[in-house]
Amino acid sequence: MKITSINFTLTSLLFFAWVASSYLHIARAQEIRAEVSRNPVAVGEVFRITYKSNVQFEDFRMPRLSDFSIVGGPYQSFSQTFINGRLSMSMSISYDLIPQKKGKYIVGAATARYEGRTITSNTLEIEVVEGQVPAPRAPGREPETRQQVASDNQDIFIQAFTSKSSVYPGEPFVLTVKLFTRLQTELKDVIMPRLKGAYIQEIPDAADRQFRVEVHNGQRYYVAVLRKLVVVAQKPGTLNLGKAGAEVKYQIVERTGDFWQDFFSGGRLRIFEKNLESAPIIIHVKDFPTQGKPASFTGACGVFEMHNIVEPSRIQTGDAVKFRLRLSGQGNLPLAELPRLQLPPSFEVFEPKTTDKVAASEAGLSGYRETELIAIPRSPGEFKIVIPEFSWFDYKAEKYRIHPVEEITLTVEGAQLAGGGTSVISPGKKEVGILQDDIRYLKRQAFGNYAGDKDSSTPAWGWLLLPWAATVGLFLVRPTVRRLRQEAEAAPRGRRSTRRAMDLLRQAEKALAEGQSERFYELCARAVYQFLHDRFRLPLHSTDRSMIRQALSNDPEKGEGFVQVLDECEAARYAPTDATARLDLLVKCRTLIEHSA
């Protein structure tokens, strides 16, 4: 009975314990758990707050978030699973927020209703800082093989990818810098890592700043390839290539909290400018294995082939022969050190010329490096040219390869040339360096050897105005001079005007004495015409009698007298008169001219 009683009591206690635990379980299940994507967070940086629960709640109410701007959400998700006859569900609501000011903020509890009861979430304390917040280091997490950096901002960040995480010195790998964004973004500038301790070559046309859609960590992003480079580490150890960065401008539409404003204008547009930066790009550079390392190894690393060419193999003395050593394949070709040829002393050797034809691609560096050496043999003979051993490390097979010593026979024919017997290396030209600057030396014979101005006095510039003043004076007197000249021309000539006419009359008198009557009349007429021309500016030999009368209008008797004389002279040519009449005509002419002067 006692035992039965104890059993009953135990059974009752177990029952209550089960009921209580069930109740507690339900109570825990009905909680809402508030989580934040990161804490602390920088001013202006987007972060996400998520409310999770394992029940399907309703009438969810956010706490007041006056210190934050809501830039996304609510994003709601609900899932339920049925495993081994047990039903489990989860529900979450997320918001993307941007903090406005620096400080510590308490986000209050959110509330919701579940089966008619009110359930609440825990509160959150969020610290907002100025500037950039260092990315949180995930404890115990190894860096991903091909992804060096993960930014802390989920919406816009930069990542640098390397095609290999561990390389040998000289082994090329590809470094890709990408910008991931889910925001309206404008790329302004790209800042590349410093890439110290490495040889780099840009892959042509690989950078693509056009945004394309990519899925990254289960999220869709617009992705731009900022740079794509082939990088070759040069020495073993940890190679820190620095950080890649970009200057971007992005815009975010904020929910204002005002339903109508959000409804009509879609929220408030905010533009941010930010320098994004990746975490340091670190590559582990392994050392070359010591085992089996040839003595001729100088650091060439790749998958190579070596070719040696001699053109021609038979020549005349004084002709040039070309030795070409070509290393081709994939690897650190621009850094490979090709072997140096040792030629006999009777060869004149020119400075070797090295040519690189190396292209960068996704596969690394490929092409060839060639050294061309030109030599002129001065002596005939058969020469054995030894091309030294060359070795490199094949990073794919992880073993050393050796191109053995090669011997080439070169036959030189012809006569011995002068200057043979010594090998002359023509040195490459160098810029003449300046040890020290100094002033130039004295000018000799300076005294008295200067034809310039002996003192600082300047000539009287005013004298230069003299010609100009004289010219101006000329033009000032010019009208007066012209007027005087015209007046002089217009004035009667006076007694001087009779001189030529009287000469002609003397000739006429002579002709009269000689009995040349025709000439006499002609000379008399000319004397009158000459007088009228000289005295009154009448045209010579003008037959216009009216002009004569007009010129002598103040003394018409004389005018008429001249007209009569001319008429008589003309008439007498056709009907000659006697000697007395001729003499009368001569006297008349002379009298008229003398009295009219």
Partner 1 sequence: MGSIATPLHAHPLEDSAVVYYDSGRFEEAAAFYDRLLAEEPQNPWLLYNRGNCAYKLGRIGEAIRYFLAAYRIRPLNEDIRHNLEMALARAPDEIPLPEPFFVFRWLGIIGSLLPIRTWWILALGTGAIAMTLMGIYAFGFQEVWRRWGFYGSLVAAGLSVLFFLPAFVHGQQLKQPLTVVVVPECEVSSEPSTTAPKLFVLHEGAVAHLRDSTASYFLIMIDSRRQGWVKRENVEIL
According to CB under 8 A, which one of 2, 137, 429, 440 is a site residue for partner 1? 440
Of positions 79, 290, 458, 546, contacts partner 1 by CB under 8 A: 458
Pick from 407, 455, 487, 578 the residue near partner 1 by CB under 8 A: 455
Of residues 26, 27, 481, 571, which one binds partner 1 by CB under 8 A?
481
64 binds partner 1 (CB under 8 A): no
Q: Which stretch binds partner 1 (CB under 8 A): 264-272, 294-302, 457-465, 519-527?
A: 457-465
The yes or no reply on residue 487 touching partner 1 (CB under 8 A) is: no
Comparing CB distances to partner 1, the nearer of 106 and 481 is 481
Judged by CB under 8 A, which of 444, 513, 557, 578 binds partner 1?
Answer: 444
We find the least distance from the C-beta atom of residue 414 to partner 1, in angstroms, to be 50
CA dihedral 560, 562, 567, 573 (to 10 degrees): 160
> Which of 81, 291, 449, 553 is the binder for partner 1 (CB under 8 A)?
449
Nearer to partner 1, 407 or 489 (CB): 489
Q: Smallest gap, in angstroms, from Cβ of residue 432 to partner 1?
A: 17
* Cβ atoms 559, 515 nearer than 8 A: no
Q: Tell me the H-state helices in 491-555.
A: 498-514, 517-536, 545-551
Q: Is 456 in the site for partner 1 (CB under 8 A)?
A: yes
The reply on whether position 461 binds partner 1 by CB under 8 A is yes
Sign of the dihedral through C-alpha 129, 130, 135, 139: negative
Residue 443 engages partner 1 in binding (rule: CB under 8 A): yes
Q: Cα(450)–Cα(442) distance, rounded to whole angstroms?
A: 15
For residue 485, what are the CA distances in angstroms to 130, 476, 491? 101, 15, 10
Cβ neighbours of residue 523 closer than 8 Å, sequence gap 6 or more: 504, 505, 507, 508, 511
Q: Which is nearer to partner 1, 17 or 465 (CB)?
A: 465
Minimum distance from residue 480 beta carbon to partner 1 (Å): 11
Beta partners for residue 96, in sequence order: 48, 72
Total residues at the site for partner 1 (CB under 8 A)?
34
Task: Give the nearest distance from C-beta 443 to partner 1 in angstroms.
Answer: 4
CA distance 411 to 316: 8
Q: Is 471 in the site for partner 1 (CB under 8 A)?
A: yes
DSSP 8-state assignment for residue 434:
P
**49 — phi, psi (to 5°)?**
-115, 130
Strand partners, 162: 175
Determine the interface stretch with partner 1 among 79-87, 94-102, 268-276, 435-443 (rule: CB under 8 A): 435-443
| Piece of the chain touching partner 1 by CB under 8 A; list 172-180, 238-246, 276-284, 443-451 | 443-451
Q: CB nearer to partner 1: give 59 or 437.
A: 437
Residue count of the chain, please give it.
Answer: 597
Distances (CA, A) of 224 to 187, 200, 214, 385, 454: 9, 21, 10, 54, 74
436 or 553, CB closer to partner 1? Answer: 436
Element (H, E) at 19: helix 2-29
Judged by CB, which is closer to partner 1: 291, or 458?
458
d(CA 338, CA 505): 123
- Residue 439 as a binder of partner 1 (CB under 8 A): the answer is yes
Nearer to partner 1, 458 or 546 (CB): 458
State how far the Cα of 85 lies from the Cα of 70, in Å rounded to an integer.
40
Residue 271 CA to residue 268 CA, distance in Å, equals 10
Decide if residue 446 touches partner 1 (CB under 8 A).
yes
Binding of partner 1 by 470 (CB under 8 A)? yes
What is the amino acid identity at position 243? K
Choose which of 64, 467, 488, 513 interacts with partner 1 (CB under 8 A).
Answer: 467
Per CB under 8 A, 259 contacts partner 1: no
Q: Please, which residues bridge with residue 76 across strands?
A: 93
* Position 474 contacts partner 1 (CB under 8 A): yes
If one asks whether residue 466 binds partner 1 (CB under 8 A), the answer comes out as: yes
Kindly state whether residue 574 participates in binding partner 1, applying the rule CB under 8 A. Answer: no
Question: How far is Cα 507 from Cα 333, in angstroms, rounded to an integer?
Answer: 121
- Helices marked H in 137-211 — which ranges? none
In sequence order, which residues have a C-beta less than 8 Å from that of residue 218 and are 6 or more positions away?
none
Write the DSSP assignment of 263-288 as a string of letters.
HHH-SEEEEEEEEEEPPP-EEEEPPP
Our finding on whether 432 is near partner 1 (CB under 8 A) is no
Interface stretch with partner 1, choices 5-13, 441-449, 526-534, 571-579 (CB under 8 A): 441-449
260 belongs to the binding site for partner 1 (CB under 8 A): no
- End-to-end CA distance of the chain: give it in Å, rounded: 195
Among 259, 260, 263, 450, binds partner 1 (CB under 8 A): 450
Q: Is 415 in the site for partner 1 (CB under 8 A)?
A: no
DSSP one-letter code for 430 = -
Out of 3, 442, 488, 490, name the contact with partner 1 by CB under 8 A: 442
| Spatial CA neighbour of 375 closest among 310, 306, 307 | 310
Least distance from partner 1 to the Cβ atom of residue 490, Å? 17
Residues in the site for partner 1, rule: CB under 8 A?
437-456, 458-459, 461, 463-464, 466-468, 470-471, 474-475, 478, 481
